[in-house]
Amino acid sequence: MDYPSALPHDLPKQIAEDVFVVHGCVKPSAVVRFTRNMAIVRDKNELTLINPVRMDDAGLAELDKLGKVAHIMRLAPSHGMDDPFYVDRYNAEFWSLEGGTTYTEPKITQPLVEGGVLPFSNAKLFVFKHMHEPEAAILLERSQERARGMLLTCDAIQSYASYPHTNWLARKILPLIGFTQETLIPKMWLKLAVQNQEGIKAEFERLLELDFEQLLSGHGTFVEKNAHIEIKSAFDIKFS
């Protein structure tokens, strides 16, 4: 099988206990390249790759040092281009929401269901309703006393302190189409991915009931603190 080539990316970076990020990119056209992230969650010695981004040999070597890649997880329908590479390379279980039509491979071996099991402990799946294709987020609940959680999203919520691995043209375009340097609910996502605007407002209200302090989305940069406050602000801007 022919897989998409690896594009520029960082090596895996630890951002919390047993949680890592790879800042990479995607190239939707010959002249545009913009940021894309992969989250890595380790449970015991098993790794789950969330929103996969293909890495080169150096990146894969660093990945293998972290543990055994056992699970691949897709949270949103548009982030599927690198799933087959990792599933085939590691003979991994593939976790995804059923009903997506943008990418139909690999075959789902572990359907994601809100309230269902996940391949790592201390976590909950949140599934957005009122979508054209299914999308989810994950709350990683911290084991330390009084520590608040980390929210993993894909396209529904994004945050940009900067634009990692984004070329100059995309850096000019992104702010013009709503991807400004802040935490945001993208207007393009609301227009293209959501079926019911009133319904999705209620979904964000439900999401804001979760307890988290940090955010890592499928694009942009890691929010180390005050993520709940920033998402509430983004919600108020879009829906108030």
pLDDT of residue 1: 78
In a domain, 127, yes or no: yes
In a domain, 7, yes or no: no
Average pLDDT over residues 4-17: 97
Residue 188, classified by CB atoms within 10 Å of its CB into exposed (0-12), middle (13-18) or buried (19+), is exposed
Domain that holds residue 62: 13-239
Average pLDDT over residues 151-165: 98
In a domain, 120, yes or no: yes
Average pLDDT over residues 97-112: 96
Nearest alpha-carbon partner for 96 in 124, 134, 40, 139: 134
pLDDT tens-digit series, residues 214-226: 999 999 999 999 9
The whole-chain average pLDDT of the chain stands at: 96
Query: Predicted confidence band at 5 (pLDDT cuts at 50, 70, 90)?
Result: very high
pLDDT tens-digit series, residues 184-198: 999 999 999 999 999
In a domain, 5, yes or no: no
The CATH number covering residue 144 comes to: 3.60.15.10
Query: Predicted confidence band at 147 (pLDDT cuts at 50, 70, 90)?
Result: low
Average pLDDT over residues 104-120: 97
In a domain, 2, yes or no: no
How many domains does the structure of the chain reveal? 1
In a domain, 37, yes or no: yes
Q: For residues 222, 130, 134 and 213, what is the CA-based torsion angle, rounded to 10 degrees?
A: 20
Over 60: is that where the pLDDT of 144 sits? no
Average pLDDT over residues 126-131: 98
What pTM, to 2 d.p., does this model score?
0.96
Return left, alpha or beta for 67; rule: phi > 0 is left, psi -120 to 50 is alpha, else beta: left
